[in-house]
Amino acid sequence: MVLPQSGLPIGTLATWKGRSGRSGLHLSRAADVLVGMTKSSHRKPPRQLRPPVTPVVELTGSSALDELVGLAAGHTPNARPVIDAIVVEGLTKTYPDGTEAVRGISLRVAAGECFGILGPNGAGKSTTVGMLGTLIKPTGGRAGVAGFDVVAEPVEVRRRIGFAMQQAGVDEFATASELVILQGRLQGLAKRDATTRARLLLRAMEIEQVADTRLAALSGGTKRRVDLAASLVHLPPVLFLDEPTEGLDPRSRTGIWDMLDRLRRDLGVTVVVSTHYMDEGDRLCDRIAIIDRGTVVVEGAPRALKAEVGSDATLEDVYLHYTGRALEPTPVAA
């Protein structure tokens, strides 16, 4: 998720990392928004937030999402009227040491489409998504998101995107509810609306039981779901997910996939997923681009790509066919 003005993930210290291995630390500038909400300290546990509505303890994740979609009707950030939500032309990123993380990527993502950027770790996926989300400045080429140029109009881009990064940008001393509410406030929601949406999103993620728990005490997989909830609180027209289900168990992965399907169907959200899980791309995406060593080696609908390789082919077979190398398997959490 990102701060609407700075483009940085939320956290006491937010971190991003590209293919070269470089990390950057950024101080979040959200103190003014925090005034009147909640205070956390190392010595004293945070005050529990009590939503101004009666908790609906019998809500299922699906019905919570139903209510969220109803609340959101007509209240999502506006994008410029475009056929393609994302346009990328010759995008490159070369780091000062000469590492070419991305080498001339071009692609288009239609509004309301789920597009997958697939490939092994180190292929350039996270760097590509970071440039589209205005967190990493491109070396060359151009990219537009929701009708705005990522270099010339970064603030306009940030107002219209949600961003859940590979390394969850969370404040370890905040509770799950506090983090999601803060993100909503930073995106311009009234406190009551942000509180209601936080409750519904945490319920939809099936983590409402940790709403008042500090993030430092949560598992990595639960933190990822909190981060995803925060990236969705303003229901942006474009959502970037960098390895969204890494470290999650199969049931949690399926739940997140179903929720993303619903957001696309009912709200027309454009989703870009960067993942090294080929089954995730196969399940979620209308189209995929397989990236290897910073370039797109093949692009198309998963079913069509598999059919070109063989009747029983998988996306792993497609990767082998176009790169000449087998994709190393990555286990999913049990």
Report the SS3 class of residue 234: coil
* Residue 37 located in a structural domain: no
* Residue 332 located in a structural domain: no
* Residue 303 located in a structural domain: no
Tokens of 21: 């291995």
* Residue 46 located in a structural domain: no
d(CA 86, CA 76): 18
Amino acid at 237: P
* Residue 250 located in a structural domain: yes
Bridge partners of 86, per DSSP, are 109, 145
* Residue 168 located in a structural domain: yes
The CATH number that applies at residue 200 is: 3.40.50.300
How many domains does the chain contain in total? Answer: 1
Nearby residues of 312 by Cβ (< 8 Å), 6 or more positions away: none
Report the candidate in 165, 162, 178, 255 with the shortest Cα–Cα distance to residue 216. 178
Tokens of 204: 């939809």
d(CA 132, CA 127): 9
* Residue 288 located in a structural domain: yes
Q: What predicted TM-score, i.e. pTM, was given to this entire model?
A: 0.75
Burial class (CB in 10 A: 0-12, 13-18, 19+), 151: middle
Which domain covers residue 147, as residue numbers? 23-31+52-296
* Residue 326 located in a structural domain: no
Nearby residues of 209 by Cβ (< 8 Å), 6 or more positions away: none
- pLDDT by residue for the chain (334 residues), tens only, comes to 444 444 444 333 334 444 444 443 333 334 333 334 434 334 444 444 444 443 333 445 567 777 777 766 555 555 555 679 999 999 999 999 999 999 999 999 999 999 999 988 888 998 999 999 999 999 999 999 999 999 999 999 998 999 887 666 667 889 999 999 999 999 889 999 999 999 999 998 889 999 999 988 988 778 888 888 999 999 899 999 988 888 788 888 888 888 888 888 888 889 999 988 889 999 999 999 999 999 999 999 999 999 999 989 999 999 999 988 887 755 554 4
d(CA 323, CA 310): 16
